[in-house]
Structure 1
Amino acid sequence: MQTTTLSFANLHNHGELFANMLRARRELFIVHNKWNLPEAMGMEYDQYDTPASRWVVVHDEYGQVLAGNRLTPTTTKCGIYSYMIRDAQRGLLETIPSNLLYDEAPVSDEIWESSRLFVAHDVPASIRRQVHARLITEIGVSSRQMGASKCLTLLAATWPRWSKRVNVDMKAMGPVMEIEGIANQVVEMDFSAQLH
C-alpha cells in the first residue's frame, strides 16, 4: 500500500494515478452513492479540481486507487468560487445547505479544505481501517508541508467513532445535516500536535 500526494506539477510522474483517482471518485459518488455530479470520460470532477489543489491518494503498486481526498487552500479564488464549504455557506452550491457552519468559513494560509474524502467501496473490510488511517495520516503530512496546521472537511457524521483511531484531534464546526441521504457534519482536523 502506497500514498501519493498529486499536484499539477507532478501528475506526469505518476502515470494514470490522477485519472484513476477521478474514476474511483465517479464509481463511489456517482455510481454507488447515486449523487448528481459532473462526469466526463468515466471520471468525476468539479470546479475545485484546479492547479491550486492537491490530491492525496492511497493506492497499490499497480495504481489501483483504494482511497483519496482533495486538499484546497481556503485562500484560493477562481471566478466566483473559493472552496466548497465556503461556497456552500455563501449559497453558491445547490446540493449543500448554506447553514453548514456555526461561524463564518475561514480564509487562512494555515487552514486548507479537505474534500471528496473517500475509501473505495470495494476495499475489503479487513483493510478498510488501515486504508482510512493511511489516508488521514497523509492528509496531515501533506497539509503540514503546505504550511497548514488544520483542515476543514465535510464528513459523514460518524467521524467521532474513528477520529481517535487515526490520532487526529477533531471538532465539530457545524450541525449534523442530511445531504444526499447521508448525515454529514463539517469538522476541523487539527494536525498542529503533529508539527514536531
Structure 2
Amino acid sequence: MQAATISFANLHNHGELFANILRARRDSFIVRRNWDLPESMGMEYDQYDTPASRWLAVHDGAGRPLAGCRLTPTTARCGIYSYMIRDAQTGLLDSIPRDLLHGEAPVDPQVWEVTRGFVVSDLPAAQRHKVRLRLVLQMLRTSREEGITRMLALLPSNWHRWAARCKLEMTAAGREMEMGGINYQAVWIDFAPQLH
C-alpha cells in the first residue's frame, strides 16, 4: 500500500493513477450513490478539478486507488467558481444548501477544502481503517508541504465516530443536512498542532 499527492505539476510521474482516481470517483459517486455529476470516458470530474487542487490517493502501487480525496485552497478561483463549500454558501450550487456553515466560508491561504473523499467499495472491511489512516497521514504530509493549518470538509455526519480513531482534531462547522439520502455536515479539521 502506497500513498501519493498528485498535482498538475507531477501527475506525469504517476502513470494512470490520476485517471484512475477519477474513475474510482465515478464508481463511488455516480454509480453507487446515483449523484448527478459530470462524467466523461468513465471518469467523474467537476469545475474544481483545476491546477489549484491536489488529489490524494492511497493505492496498491500498480495504479489502483483504494481511497482518495481532493484538496482545494480556499483562495482558488476559476471563472465564477472558488471552492465547493463557499460556492454553495453563495448560491452557485443548487445541490448543497446555502446555510451549510455556521459562519462565512473562509478565504485564507492556510485553509483548504477537502472534497470527493472515497474508499473503494470492494475493499474488505478489515482493511478500511488501515486505508483511512494512510489517507490521513498523506493529508498531514500534504498539509505540511502546503502550509495548511485547517481543512474544511463536507462529511457524512457520523464523522465523529472515526475522527478519534484516525487521530484527527475535528469540530462541527455547520448543521447536519440530508443530501442524496445521506446526512452530511461541514467539519473543521485542525492540522496546526501537528505541523510542528
Give the TM-score category using the shorter length: over 0.9
Matching residue of 1:141: 141
Is contact 1:137–1:166 with CA below 8 Å preserved after alignment? no
Partner SS, residue 175 of structure 2: coil
Query: Matched residue of 1:167: which SS?
Result: coil
Deviation at 1:51, TM superposition (A): 0.3
Q: Deviations over 1:20-64 (max 9, x none)?
A: 000000011000111110000000000000000000000001111
The alpha carbon displacement at 1:144 in A equals 2.2
Aligned to 2:190: 190
Q: Which amino acid letter does the alignment assign opposite residue 54 of structure 2?
A: R
User: Which amino acid in the other structure matches residue 127 of structure 2?
Assistant: I
Residue number in structure 1 paired with 2:59: 59
Does residue 9 in structure 1 map to residue 23 in structure 2? Answer: no
In 2, are the aligned partners of 1:7 and 1:51 still within 8 Å (CA)?
yes
Aligned-residue identity in percent: 59
Displacement of 1:140 after TM fit?
A: 2.0
1:65-104 equivalences in 2 (<5 Å): 65-104=65-104
**What SS is found at the alignment partner of 2:77?**
coil
Q: TM-score, normalization: structure 2?
A: 0.98
SS in 1 for 2:133: helix
Q: Separation in 1 of the partners of 2:144 and 2:151?
A: 10
- Distance in 2 (alpha carbons) for counterparts of 1:162 and 1:175: 19
Aligned residue for 1:164?
164
Partner deviation per Cα, 1:39-91 (whole Å, 9 max, x = no partner): 00000000000000000000001111100100000001111100000000001
Runs of 4+ in 1 over 2 A off after TM superposition: none
**Amino acid corresponding to residue 85 of structure 2 in structure 1:** I
Letter in 1 for 2:42: G
Unaligned runs of 5+ in 1: none
Q: What is the CA-CA distance between 1:137 and the residue it aligns to?
A: 1.8
Aligned length: 196
CA distance in 2, matches of 1:136, 1:61: 18
* Segment drifting more, 39-48 vs 114-123: 114-123
Amino acid in structure 1 at the alignment position of 2:101: L
2:23 counterpart residue number = 23
CA shift for structure 1 position 193: 1.3
Q: Secondary structure at the match of 1:142?
A: helix
| TM-score, length of structure 1 as denominator length | 0.98
Amino acid at match of 2:9: A
- Partner-residue secondary structure (3-state), 2:174: coil
State the distance in 1 between where 2:33 and 2:61 align: 27
Tell me how far apart the structure 2 counterparts of residues 136 and 119 of structure 1 sit (CA, whole Å). Answer: 12
